[in-house]
């Protein structure tokens, strides 16, 4: 089956897409286990102790990082599915979670970068603009922060501050063009209905015009064919495929097209990486002498099954399942090493679900000798990038994409 997604946005038949994906083939998932011992070794002890499994209303038990605001991580076992179930999808808020009825929801568009102001309801948006779908990984900038050595302050995420979904909505481009983009337009500033508890900075983020006008950038209402859960940004959120989730503003209510760089705290001070450490940001109006905003997701991969620490039966052939993803160039190949990185062999890539989706891979092993066994996995992207062997440490704990070493026990 031909899937059209990525470069030119959605236009795909959702029914085909979802039914055709492996998610439909996966029967009952095992109950999510305790955070794997491998992660527990690397996370701060306090994060392990307070990282209990807890279910928010409408969600399955996820790994609780904080109760309020709710920050909940998806157990890695859910990544066996090509698309992450909505009720297992991770949750990340900086402040309280708005709960807006669809009928009351308004989207307001204004600013010096548009010719005329606009206000839309859900109905008027959907009536006026074409609905499209894009499959894309949504990954928190701070995913794997908890694995940093030395540790850095922040929400201490393990591997699960991410998920893969089919996002459905209207193109941001179509909506902006309806309001008329002026020649001076520089950034599109997105604001959600969430608000700081006291006087702290409101969570507001901007996108450069090129990214805002990318046909894959959406105002999404749906996730995997269902309305967005409130925990994941209902009624509408921005979807900026390939970029970390900090830009995917949830409970979106305001878009301001500016002619100056937006200088709110969460743009100017937070979500920054040292200049040049991870290449060009692609967001020049936000670059400073010292640092750049974190933008595109870095190439990464993850072993999903068997879980680290699993006991494997000697002489029995099994398939290791993993995933690999990047900021949108797509996965070229994934290699696996069983001898500590001396030799590498290609894993079998599974179906391509679009360049912003993660790509599942499989690799058959037949453990022979009893005792400890280590598997390493490393992805290569179509843009020529690969994963790092040693952590590129940075103050806020972003872009952890160190080649994973997974320990098993053969018996």
Task: Determine, following the binding rule CB under 6 A, whether residue 154 of this chain makes contact with ligand HEC.
Answer: yes
The single residue among 2, 116, 199, 290 that binds other proteins, judged by CB under 8 A, is 199
Instruction: Identify which of residues 257 and 296 has a Cβ nearer to other proteins in the complex.
Output: 257
Is the Cα torsion angle 211, 213, 218, 219 positive or negative in sign?
positive
> What are the tokens at 286?
């936000």
The single residue among 11, 31, 33, 67 that binds other proteins, judged by CB under 8 A, is 67
Task: Determine, following the binding rule CB under 8 A, whether residue 184 of this chain makes contact with other proteins.
Answer: no
> Which phi and psi (to 5°) does residue 372 adopt?
-75, 145
Segment 155-174, which members bind other proteins (CB under 8 A)? Answer: 155-156
Segment interacting with ligand HEC, rule: CB under 6 A, options 22-30, 98-106, 150-158, 362-370: 150-158
DSSP readout, 279-317? S--S-GGG--SSEEE--BPPPEEEEEESPTTPEEPTT--
Q: Which of 346, 345, 343, 333 is nearest to 386 (CA)?
A: 333
Helix (H) or strand (E) holding 211, with range, is helix 209-212
Task: Determine, following the binding rule CB under 6 A, whether residue 153 of this chain makes contact with ligand HEC.
Answer: yes
239 SS3 class: strand
Binding mask 58-97 for ligand HEC (x = CB under 6 A): ------------------------------------x---
Q: Which of 321, 350, 347 is nearest to 334 (CA)?
A: 347
Task: Determine, following the binding rule CB under 6 A, whether residue 45 of this chain makes contact with ligand HEC.
Answer: no
Does residue 58 contact residue 229 with C-beta atoms inside 8 Å?
Answer: yes
Binding mask 128-147 for other proteins (x = CB under 8 A): ------------------x-
**Residue 1 interacts with which of ligand HEC, other proteins, none, CB < 5 to 8 Å by class:** none
**Residue 384 interacts with which of ligand HEC, other proteins, none, CB < 5 to 8 Å by class:** none
Residue 340: left (phi > 0), alpha (psi -120 to 50), or beta?
left
Instruction: Identify which of residues 36 and 164 has a Cβ nearer to other proteins in the complex.
Output: 36
**Residue 45 interacts with which of ligand HEC, other proteins, none, CB < 5 to 8 Å by class:** other proteins
Closest CB 192 distance from other proteins, rounded Å: 9
The single residue among 16, 19, 99, 315 that binds other proteins, judged by CB under 8 A, is 99
Segment 23-62, which members bind other proteins (CB under 8 A)? Answer: 44-47, 49-51, 54, 56-57
Q: How far apart are the first and last CA of the chain?
A: 41
- Is the omega angle on the peptide bond into residue 69 within 30 degrees of 0, that is, cis? yes
Instruction: Identify which of residues 106 and 260 has a Cβ nearer to other proteins in the complex.
Output: 106
Instruction: Identify which of residues 116 and 199 has a Cβ nearer to ligand HEC in the complex.
Output: 199
Q: Which of 278, 302, 281 is nearest to 402 (CA)?
A: 302
Strands (E), 162-263: 162-171, 187-192, 204-208, 218-223, 226-227, 237-239, 252-258
Binding mask 108-147 for ligand HEC (x = CB under 6 A): ----------------------------------------
Segment 15-34, which members bind ligand HEC (CB under 6 A)? Answer: none
Segment 191-210, which members bind ligand HEC (CB under 6 A)? Answer: 197-198, 200
Helix (H) or strand (E) holding 40, with range, is helix 37-42
For residues 170 and 125, give the distance between their C-alpha atoms in angstroms, rounded to a whole number.
8
- Strand 252-258 and strand 218-223: pairing? unpaired
Residues that bind ligand HEC (CB under 6 A): 94, 153-155, 197-198, 200
Residues that bind other proteins (CB under 8 A): 44-47, 49-51, 54, 56-57, 64-70, 95-101, 104, 106, 108, 146, 150-151, 153-156, 191, 193-202, 253-254, 265, 269
């Amino acid at each position: 089956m031909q899937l059209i997604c990525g470069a030119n946005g959605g236009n795909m038949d959702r029914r085909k897409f979802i039914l055709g994906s492996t998610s439909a083939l996966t029967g009952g998932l095992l109950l999510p286990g305790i955070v794997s011992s491998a992660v527990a070794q690397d996370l701060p002890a306090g994060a392990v102790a307070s990282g209990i499994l807890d279910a928010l209303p409408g969600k399955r038990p996820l790994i609780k990082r904080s109760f309020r605001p709710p920050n909940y991580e998806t157990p890695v076992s859910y990544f066996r599915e090509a698309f992450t179930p909505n009720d297992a999808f991770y949750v990340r808020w900086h402040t309280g979670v708005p709960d807006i009825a669809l009928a009351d929801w308004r989207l307001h568009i204004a600013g010096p970068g548009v010719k005329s102001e606009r206000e839309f309801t859900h109905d008027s948006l959907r009536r006026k603009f074409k609905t499209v779908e894009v499959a894309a990984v949504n990954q928190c900038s701070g995913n794997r922060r908890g694995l940093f050595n030395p540790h850095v302050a922040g929400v201490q995420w393990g591997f699960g501050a991410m998920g893969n979904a089919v996002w459905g909505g209207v193109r941001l481009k179509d909506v902006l063009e309806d309001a008329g983009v002026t020649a001076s337009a520089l950034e599109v500033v997105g604001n959600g209905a969430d608000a700081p508890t006291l006087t702290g900075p409101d969570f507001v983020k901007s996108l450069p015009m090129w990214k805002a006008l990318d046909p894959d950038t959406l105002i999404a209402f749906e996730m995997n064919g269902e309305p967005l859960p409130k925990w994941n940004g209902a009624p509408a959120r921005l979807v900026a495929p390939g970029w970390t989730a900090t830009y995917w503003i949830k409970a979106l209510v305001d878009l301001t097209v500016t002619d100056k760089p937006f200088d709110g705290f969460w743009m100017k001070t937070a979500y920054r990486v040292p200049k040049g450490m991870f290449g060009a940001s692609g967001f020049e109006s936000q670059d400073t002498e010292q640092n750049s905003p974190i933008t595109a997701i870095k190439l990464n991969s993850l072993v999903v099954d068997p879980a680290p620490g699993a006991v494997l039966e000697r002489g029995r052939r099994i398939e290791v399942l993993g995933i690999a993803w990047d900021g949108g160039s797509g996965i070229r190949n994934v290699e696996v090493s069983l001898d500590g990185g001396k030799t590498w062999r290609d894993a079998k890539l599974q179906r391509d679900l679009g360049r912003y989706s993660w790509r599942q891979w499989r690799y058959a092993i037949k453990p022979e000798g009893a005792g400890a066994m280590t598997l390493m996995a490393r992805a290569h992207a179509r843009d020529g990038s690969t994963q790092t062997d040693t952590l590129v440490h940075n103050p806020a704990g972003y872009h952890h994409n160190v080649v994973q070493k997974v320990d098993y026990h053969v018996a």
